[in-house]
Amino acid sequence: MTAEIEAWKYPRQVTVARHAGFCLGVDRAVKSAYNLAARTAARQPLYMLGELIHNHQVIDSLTRQGFVVAERPEDIPPAATVLIRAHGISPEVRQALLAKNCSLSDATCGYVTKIHHIVRKAWDGGRKVILTGNPSHPEIQGINGECAGTAIIFQTPDEAQAYEFADDSYILASQTTFSVKTFNEIRKVLQNKIALLQIFDTICDATETRQREVAELAADSEVILIIGSRTSSNTRKLFDASEVASGDRYQVETPGEVRQLLEQGKLAGKRVGVTAGASSPESIIREVIHIMSENEAVNKDLEQGDVSFSDFIDQIPQLHRGATVKGVIVRYDDDFVYVDVRDKSEGKIPRHEFENNPDFDLDKAIEDRTEIDVYVRSIRNTELGKEILLSKARVDFAKYKNEVETAFREKTPITVKVVNVVKDGVIATYGGIDIYIHRTQLELGTVQDLEPYRDQTFDILITQFDPEKRRLRVSGSRRALLNRDRKTKAEELWNNIAVGDIYDGVVRSLTDFGAFVDIGGVDGLVHISELSWNRIKHPSEVVKVGDVIQVYVKDFDPEKKRISLGYKRIEDDPYHNIEERFPQGSIVHGKVVRMFNFGAFVEIAPGVDALCHVSQISSHRLNRPEEVLKEGMEVDARVLDVNNENRRISISIKDVAPIDETVDGQALTSEKDSHQDSRGDDLPTSYQDKDQNTTIGTVVQSNEGTEAAADDSAATTEPETNEEA
């Protein structure tokens, strides 16, 4: 039976550090172990490679649950279930276990995993690795494995100062539980010795916070108690950081050691500060506090201290069912996302609550330690600690519901994303709030196919908000917003429009006589004759609905709200500067494209057809051009006349190289074909008479005189030629 401790031997005041006991990484590892034991059939051995954490009480408890501690991979049988401890393992050890078909349950601390990635990336990139920490510590050994065991490891600034570095690129990282003070001292030494050094401060936040906190606690205490295993690195660092002016500080592993200190009078009448290493379970801390508070006076001082025992246990006084608190996303699995709500246990959110926002990147949130608002749905005490069920969706729903209601009331637009297509419309979402948009409210015009709108993001106006129903009903309209924007743009356009203004417009519709183009709130008409320099039968030959084209204002009527637009430009006219490009007398090369009884059209440039009269093709009299020409034949000719105003060019093949041989090798005939070709529709636009009903009549009549003159000339010259001969 334990002897009663005299009242005078109790401390005068006890202050508990706010951050004491299991850190998140250790807490997760321990929970993983107990959960694994619960899921595994009885009598089936479970293995942990090295002690899960540095705490004998926890290891003994896990051993009773069926775990076997193995120091080497060789000690583990094939196909065994192996729990990877919080310190992590090297890639080599991991491969050895996988080669034995072992099933691995990885409880490596997230901070340690991050260091593994940093070192591996640096090593793969050809950089050398420097680590601060204990070379024999399992965490350092695992990290060193990522760079094939080549890391340079320092424990003191003197070691770093004495080392001779090569002229290479280095990175510096640290064991998560290393002394912050020593790390900073080593960093300063290395910065003075290495030109290319990238520094990663990988000391765990919990380690840094606890070391700083215990130093502050020691300044206000006469005695410091550090609870934790003597094999724990972070506990030793806490002890080193807890220098007390009087020099009284003690590291204890069990409540029994605290009782011994009380019996020896080491704490008598003193102000005692208490903290615990990251591997110390809550039950031990609770019992230590209970032992020191058995005296009524001490218990009173404990409760009135800056940090009460209830604060230590609960950490966050407002953490209760129904509360909304802030938390940091730390990890996730297939079912839950885990959040640090600054409690002794992590809270968990069902994974599906994040699926409503596909743009939310969980991996980045963990890397950035993103803080979110969460709703506490339930808190349940178990043997493993508190089980806290949280909800992000409930907080988001309330938040976004208010924003949607405000948008409805103030008629302000919100940005939504379409997530589903239904019979007569689409379902869009705004922060998890479903909004129905009817097909008639998607565009200014009619929408037939809704599928292209899936996954689109755009702005809408809320047109219905009904919170009174059992389920919130919200409707929206993109059309209303487009109409509002269109009216605003139209007013601005009519106030500033001028002839010659250039706009980038969208083709809205096509008719037989032209295209209607939206130039910003107002539709203007591009007449079919303004679409192309070539003759077209329908605007669809040049543009289609939805095309973005550049147009210019030809004319407008503000009263009738009409705008005439131009599309074709003078510089695009194939006859632009034609007299300069093809001066009279110049030689041109072209291809025969069409033939009529009166002559052949030769394309001498893209869009430019020149007429070679039948009398200007051969030195012999021809009835039709087909006698010596065929479509596609390339010829050389001289320019006889250029009429830019009438867009006509006359050429002569005969003046350059007359074609005197028939196409089929037959002798030329002088018989005249009186057939009149009336294929006016095939003529180039420049050779059609737009002011009269006939298309080529005038051209034919004018050429008859030329043809007769050619006959007379031939009749008078041939006898003279014979006489000379």
H-run or E-run covering 473: strand 473-477
> Reading across the β-sheet that carries 223-227, which strands appear in turn?
13-16, 271-276, 223-227, 249-252
Identify the CA nearest to 321 among candidates 271, 262, 387, 261.
387
User: How would DSSP label each residue in 26-50?
Assistant: HHHHHHHHHHHHHHSPTT--EEEES
Local structure of residue 560 (DSSP, 8 states) = T
Residue type at position 252: V
Catalytic one of 4, 71, 74, 139: 139
Cα 199 from chain centroid (whole Å): 28
Closest CA to 351 of 376, 371, 333: 333
Q: How far apart are CA 507 and CA 448, in angstroms?
A: 18
Q: How many helices (H) and strands (E) does the chain have?
A: 18, 32
Residue with tokens 């997230």: 110
146 in active site: no
Plot region of 40 (φ>0 → left; ψ -120 to 50 → alpha; else → beta): beta
DSSP tag of 571: G
**Of 713, 707, 697, 698, the residue nearest 673 (C-alpha):** 707
Report the SS3 class of residue 94.
helix
Residues 6+ apart with CB under 8 A from 148: 123
Q: Strands, DSSP E only, in 195-270?
A: 196-199, 223-227, 249-252
**Coil, strand or helix: which one is 339?**
strand
Task: Tell me the C-alpha distance between 320 and 325, whole Å.
Answer: 9
Q: Which two tokens stand for residue 167?
A: 């002229």
How many angstroms separate the CA atoms of 153 and 172, rounded? 10
User: How many other C-beta atoms lie within 10 A of the C-beta of residue 263?
Assistant: 14
What CA–CA distance (Å, rounded) separates 695 from 715?
32
Residue numbers annotated as active site: 139
